[in-house]
């Protein structure tokens, strides 16, 4: 199997071993790794975002990790612009780009194109978020369906972020998010990509997540969160949504026990992993689904 001419995409739920697999693959096909995780771009969130370690950087060249200040806005469009530059740069150097991450939207806009939706003012977006808080997830979703019936078959009620975004777009532009999607086009052809989805057993993944949560606390996540909180970053900023930030804040201010903190982080991470799996089912039907137990077999075929 010759993958050197392709752009490799690797997606899977958090803690499924994407980064380790990507390093092994990169060694075999003269590749370099590009980040496709929305939290791993922030330099202030090394531990909480589970960024690759220094030892990993020494093994294989990594790009777009830990370079962005959490104080600044960083959109999916910003990521797409940078990642296209990196892909062309690596191709020019005869390297194989390997994109790794758990942010499904990043892969979607790379392969299908970015919707050119007008910028929506922050104050307007905050009003929509306040409405979501006031109504709650269920009532907000019903209100969204009335406002934009096209969302009924496309958005899962538990996908809060997407529901809020759809509401913002429809109420501000008077046009459905899905109407904006129609005329988008990628800068790449479908044949340029080789897409890998790592299928990890749910029970085993839960164990991995629990271990990771405990290890994060052990290696300094509390200190990292303390420094992050001192930056006084507005809650509307994407970086503030990183799993663990709010929970560690509660640990510091409300005096919850450390074992409770670890359990809270584990639960939220498991919920996130479930959302990632749901995304894959709805958006990645054409990806090569590989069981985690078969990854080494796959590497031997490359």
**What pLDDT is stored for residue 31 in this prediction?**
98
**What pLDDT is stored for residue 128 in this prediction?**
96
7-115+185-201+279-301: what fold?
Rossmann fold (3.40.50)
Ranges of the chain with pLDDT below 50:
none
DSSP string, 55-116: HHHHHS-EESSS-B-TTS---HHHHHHHHHHHHHHHHHTT-EEEEEES-HHHHHHHHH----
**What pLDDT is stored for residue 118 in this prediction?**
84
How far apart CA 118 and CA 173 sit, in angstroms, is 8
Let me know if the fold of 122-181 is the same as that of 203-275.
no
**What pLDDT is stored for residue 60 in this prediction?**
97
Closest CA to 18 of 31, 3, 33: 33
Scanning the structure block, which residue is given the tokens 């749901």? Answer: 278
Scanning the structure block, which residue is given the tokens 């290696």? Answer: 219
**Dihedral pair phi/psi, residue 194, rounded to 5°:** -125, 115
Instruction: Please check whether residue 104 is in contact with residue 195, taking contact to mean a CB–CB distance below 8 angstroms.
Output: no
Closest CA to 197 of 76, 288, 292: 288
Instruction: Please check whether residue 280 is in contact with residue 83, taking contact to mean a CB–CB distance below 8 angstroms.
Output: no
Instruction: Please check whether residue 221 is in contact with residue 248, taking contact to mean a CB–CB distance below 8 angstroms.
Output: yes
Q: What is the pTM of this model?
A: 0.84
Tokens found for residue 289: 């689904």
Q: Which CATH class is domain 203-275?
A: mainly alpha
- Dihedral of the CA atoms 19, 24, 26, 32 (nearest 10)? 40
CATH 1.10.20 fits 122-181, yes or no: yes
pLDDT, tens only, 84-143: 999 999 999 999 999 999 999 999 999 999 888 888 999 999 999 999 999 999 999 999
Domain-wise residue ranges, the chain: 7-115+185-201+279-301, 122-181, 203-275
**What pLDDT is stored for residue 236 in this prediction?**
77
């Amino acid at each position: 199997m010759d993958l050197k001419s392709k752009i490799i995409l690797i997606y899977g739920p958090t803690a499924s071993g994407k980064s380790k697999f990507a390093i092994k693959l990169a060694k075999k096909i003269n590749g370099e790794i590009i980040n496709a995780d929305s939290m791993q771009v922030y330099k202030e969130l090394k531990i909480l975002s589970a960024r690759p370690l220094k030892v990993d950087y020494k093994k294989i060249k990594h790009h777009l990790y830990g370079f962005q200040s959490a104080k600044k806005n960083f959109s999916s469009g910003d990521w797409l612009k940078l990642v296209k530059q990196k892909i062309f740069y690596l191709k020019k150097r005869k390297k194989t780009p390997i994109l790794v991450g758990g942010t499904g939207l990043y892969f979607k806009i790379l392969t299908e194109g970015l919707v050119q939706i007008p910028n929506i003012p922050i104050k307007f977006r905050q009003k929509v978020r306040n409405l979501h808080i006031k109504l709650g997830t269920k009532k907000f979703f019903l209100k969204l369906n009335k406002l934009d019936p096209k969302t009924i078959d496309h958005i899962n009620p538990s996908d809060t972020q997407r529901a809020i975004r759809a509401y913002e777009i429809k109420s501000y532009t008077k046009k459905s998010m899905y109407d904006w999607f129609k005329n988008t086009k990628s800068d790449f052809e479908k044949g340029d990509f080789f897409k890998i989805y790592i299928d990890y057993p749910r029970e085993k993944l839960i164990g991995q997540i629990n271990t990771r949560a405990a290890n994060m606390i052990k290696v300094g996540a509390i200190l990292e969160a303390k420094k992050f909180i001192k930056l006084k970053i507005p809650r509307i900023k994407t970086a503030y949504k990183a799993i663990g930030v709010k929970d560690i804040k509660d640990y510091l201010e409300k005096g919850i026990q450390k074992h409770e903190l670890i359990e809270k982080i584990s639960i939220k991470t498991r919920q996130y992993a479930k959302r990632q799996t749901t995304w894959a089912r709805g958006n990645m039907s054409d990806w090569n689904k590989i069981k985690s137990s078969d990854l080494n077999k796959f590497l031997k075929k490359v």
